[in-house]
Chain A
Amino acid sequence: MADAVRLYTRYIGASLRAQMQYRASFIMNALGHLAITAGEFLSLAALFGRFGNIDGWTLPEVALFYGLVSCAFALCEGVARGFDDFSRTIRNGDFDRLLVRPRSTLLQVAGQELQLLRVGRFLQGLAVLIWSAATLGIAWTLPRILLVLGAVLGGVCLFYGLFVLQATLCFWTVQSLEVMNTLTYGGVETAQFPVTVYRAWFRNIFIYVVPLACVTYFPALAILDRADALGSPTWFQWLAPLVGVGFMALAPQVWHFGVRHYRSTGS
């Protein structure tokens, strides 16, 4: 285990040094990311300017959802790049090389790249989160701070699990499936609003199948001290981020099943 951690940190170190070779390009790109997400948030604010509220939720409240999911997704995109880009590893036949090395394939794919670029989106999400908390005047007790951290970490785990599943599918499909983006990027878009604004069938997908609501909606209710229109108990709202961790724990099982079915594309 300690050996695996050491290897992972060396992988990451190499990836970071490589990215820092093009410093100007990196800064430009990170700023570009920041601009995109900031622009998206301003567009959201424009809608609240026209409508005032969405099902009784105001902009600062929705901003809390937005901040939580943006921070989680940005962190996850940064660390899970190897899985996000896995179809290329399969297509090139590079996965053969990973298989002959005496280390776990999960570790090697995970260590492929740490994408610093996502820092732009993360900072923007954090800024929105802080703005939201300041505007709403949330009292920052220790349990609340822990819950925010837990929700973000639970979100990272959940998205990480999704990226691993997406990569696993490549063992069969070779090409990466754009359809999976509906769960990752689409999930981010969905989780920016309270799940109650959606129709029931759609809402249930994001509560029971891909439990994104457990890392945004339920903890946010506890942070805001609001009663749940769906009737969930308070203790569940506090513990909900653990569901994200559980989701990630399932992913390696599926992955190993996929690896056994791998057939190289090379000749």
Chain B
Amino acid sequence: MSAYLSTFQARGRVLLQYREAALAGVVTQLFWGGIRIMIYEAFYRSSSAAQPMSYAQTVTYLWLIQAMLLLVPWRVDPEAAASIRDGSVAYEMVRPADLYWYWFSRGLAQRVLPVLMRAAPIFIIAMPFFGMQAPVSAAAALAWVASIGAAALLSCAITMLATISLLWSVAGDGVSRLLATLASLLSGSVVPLPFYPDWAQPVLNALPFRGLMDIPFRVYTGDVTLGQWLPLLGHQLIWTAVLVLIGRWLLARGLRRLVVQGG
């Protein structure tokens, strides 16, 4: 366990070297959030039909997207990808650590720290100035934190599937691109999920992707009550467990047929 913890810490220190990049990212995120909010503002003033979320909830949801955008599994761990391409994955197999969890913990660090570095300034700026609301209650805030944690694990489990797929197709980032597309559309990061048509809701609810954003965000805004949230946390955790099991099974199969070239 401590080996995986050290992996996490080492990766974290590397990432903290790039503070300016994080700052530039925050400015970009604020700008992007601003565009979106103006668009929804225009939509809300154009229609008097009942909407699935109130305007204030929607604005908060949109800011949460900007704050947590890096939770979407955009791309595979570049080092793991490189090690598969150049064959050094063979060395990784020699290490006295389980390869799945080694990559997983490194990926988790790569995900969690940038999210925190980007989220904090957005909360600090968007809350007083741009209509982002606080969590509806202290209990909702705790539930939100727990749900974000589950989302980070889920995101890593999805990334691992994309990484492992490289064992079969070295050149193509096709699978990872496909997963990223599905994840960004079906998690609610493009349009908050409640705005999709009613007939699509059961499908969206069943798929794992809403666990990345929609579930934590809606408990934050109070659109989902605490009683409704508990089974949703189960949804996040069960999907994570399922995807981890699939990933480990695929990795074991992939490594068994792995042939490393070299002399």
A residues near B (Cβ < 8 Å) are 22, 24-25, 28-29, 32, 35-36, 39-40, 43-44, 46-47, 49-56, 175, 177-179, 181-182, 186, 189-190, 193, 197-199, 202
Q: Identify which of B45-53, B83-91, B153-161, B244-252 touches chain A.
A: B45-53
14 more A-B residue pairs beyond the given contacts A47-B195, A51-B43, with a C-beta to C-beta distance below 8 A: A32-B181, A43-B196, A44-B191, A46-B196, A49-B197, A50-B47, A50-B51, A52-B47, A54-B39, A179-B24, A182-B28, A186-B35, A198-B38, A202-B34
Residues in A whose Cβ lies below 8 Å from that of B39: 54, 193, 197
Residues in A whose Cβ lies below 8 Å from that of B184: 36
Q: Which of A25, A35, A47, A178 makes the CB contact (< 8 A) with B178?
A: A35
Judged by a CB distance under 8 angstroms, whether B124 is at the interface is: no
CB within 8 Å for A53 and B38 given contacts A178-B24, A181-B28: no
Determine if B31 and A55 form an interchain contact, defined as CB atoms under 8 angstroms apart.
no
| Alpha-carbon separation in the docked complex, A59 to B88 (Å) | 51
Determine if A190 and B185 form an interchain contact, defined as CB atoms under 8 angstroms apart.
no
| Alpha-carbon separation in the docked complex, A36 to B184 (Å) | 9
Interface centre among B27, B38, B43, B44 (most CB of A within 10 A): B43
Q: Which of B31, B43, B195 makes the CB contact (< 8 A) with A186?
A: B31
Chain B interface residue count, Cβ-Cβ cutoff 8 angstroms: 35
CB within 8 Å for A55 and B191 given contacts A175-B21, A186-B31: no
Residues in A whose Cβ lies below 8 Å from that of B21: 175, 178
Residues in B whose Cβ lies below 8 Å from that of A39: 181, 185, 190
| Alpha-carbon separation in the docked complex, A32 to B46 (Å) | 34
User: Which secondary structure dominates where chain B touches chain A?
Assistant: helix
Determine if B42 and A197 form an interchain contact, defined as CB atoms under 8 angstroms apart.
yes
Q: Mask for B175-194, Cβ within 8 A of A = 1, else 0?
A: 00110010011000011000
User: Which secondary structure dominates where chain A touches chain B?
Assistant: helix
CB within 8 Å for A179 and B42 given contacts A28-B172, A32-B174: no
| Alpha-carbon separation in the docked complex, A28 to B21 (Å) | 31
In order of increasing CB-CB distance, the 3 nearest A-B pairs are A28-B174, A197-B42, A32-B177
Judged by a CB distance under 8 angstroms, whether B171 is at the interface is: yes
Residues in A whose Cβ lies below 8 Å from that of B27: 179, 182
| Alpha-carbon separation in the docked complex, A181 to B178 (Å) | 23
Q: Which of A28, A36, A186 makes the CB contact (< 8 A) with B181?
A: A36
